[in-house]
Amino acid sequence: MPNSSKKKARYRRVVLKLSGETLGEETGQPISTRVVARIAKQIKDVCSLGIELAIIIGGGNIWRGSFSKEIERATSDYMGMLATVINGLALQDALEKAGVSTRLQTAIEMQRVAEPFIRRRAMRHFEKKRIVIFGGGTGNPFFSTDTAAALRASEIGADVILKATKVDGIYDSDPMKNPHAKKYGHISYLDALRKRLRVMDSTAFSLCMDNHIPIVVFNMFKEGNLRRVMLGERIGTIVSD
């Protein structure tokens, strides 16, 4: 992108929300080192903009509670939280190999694997130009990693949540099934809740609305899109007041 290195980032502190499925292959492989390395390359590219970056990854590529209804819900959710830590370790490894300094913090303590989530320590990592990866969700069952992203964004004072997906924004219906689906350029929190748009859950939307944190839903798998979003270009869909 010409002259993009001379532009200033629109945001100071960002939470990037990745679904667990983004780390895998379409063939069904839950974690692809090739895909993770490609994601790490894009993240490294935006580090030069001076943004303080936190990342939250889901665990759906490894575990989805809805697949195992015979397992008690709270137990299933804890299994999903552990899956997010596995994904966090995979991304941390790829980022470190790319020369990016990181720290992995988890809501569930596991001292030999990662730091416990401590807000002040996370803020200190930002000061030292480290990327902080948050694993373990909120540490509580019955809450999604979308809610964890909204919670952590509120705690660290993030300017925005970037929701990375495989589609280029929010539509009024599934664009894969409906060729006439309408894409929203902007939508309010209340409309997103009222229309029951399944981009994030209602708790996450409500947290962002209460704390005035905008959400940008965009396609991260289009080359250069992550940088474009960081620079404030209007791509994807913005959810805000």
**Size of the chain, expressed as the number of residues it contains:** 241
pLDDT digits (tens, 9 = 90+) for 169-222: 999 888 888 888 899 999 999 999 998 887 889 999 999 999 999 999 999 988
How much of the chain, in percent, has pLDDT values that exceed 70? 95
Mean pLDDT over each residue of the chain, to the nearest integer: 92
pLDDT value at position 70?
Answer: 82
- Measured on CA atoms in the order 224, 153, 34, 99, is the torsion positive or negative? positive
Mean pLDDT, to the nearest integer, of 223-231? 93
Local confidence band at 67 (pLDDT 50, 70, 90 cut-offs): low
pLDDT value at position 179?
Answer: 86
Fold annotation for 12-240: Carbamate kinase (3.40.1160)
- Three-class HEC string of the chain: CCCHHHCCCCCCEEEEEECHHHHCCCCCCCCCHHHHHHHHHHHHHHHCCCCEEEEEECCCCCCCHHHCCCCCHHHHHHHHHHHHHHHHHHHHHHHHHCCCCEEEEECCCCCCCCEECCHHHHHHHHHCCCEEEEECCCCCCCCCHHHHHHHHHHHHCCCEEEEEECCCCEECCCCCCCCCCCEECEEEHHHHHHCCCCCCCHHHHHHHHHHCCCEEEEECCCCCHHHHHHCCCCCCEEEEC
Report pTM: 0.92
